[in-house]
């Protein structure tokens, strides 16, 4: 992950300039896995982005 202070990031997949409805979630191991609570919050937050991408672009 390039954003050093972010626990996770979600990216929409694009194929031939069009959104596919699929996305990727990347976790920053130093932050996201620092505690069970942090992982729970990070996963929950990124799930919102995944569901938004699926609903709006899929």
Q: Which is nearest to 44 in space by CA: 8, 16, 12? A: 8
> What pLDDT shows up at residue 58?
58
pTM summary value: 0.79
Chain segment 24-54, per-residue pLDDT in tens: 999 999 999 999 999 999 999 999 999 988 8
pLDDT at 38: 97
Which residues lie below 8 Å from residue 39, measured CB to CB, with a gap of 6+? 32, 33
Q: What ranges do the domains of the chain cover?
A: 8-53
pLDDT at 13: 87
Segment 12-25, tens digit of pLDDT: 888 898 888 788 99
Question: 28 is written with which tokens?
Answer: 């920053």
């Amino acid at each position: 992950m390039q954003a050093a202070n972010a626990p996770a990031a979600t990216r929409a997949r694009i194929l031939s300039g069009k959104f596919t409805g699929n996305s990727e979630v990347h976790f920053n191991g130093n932050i996201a896995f620092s505690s069970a609570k942090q992982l729970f919050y990070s996963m929950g937050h990124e799930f919102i982005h995944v569901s938004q991408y699926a609903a709006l672009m899929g």
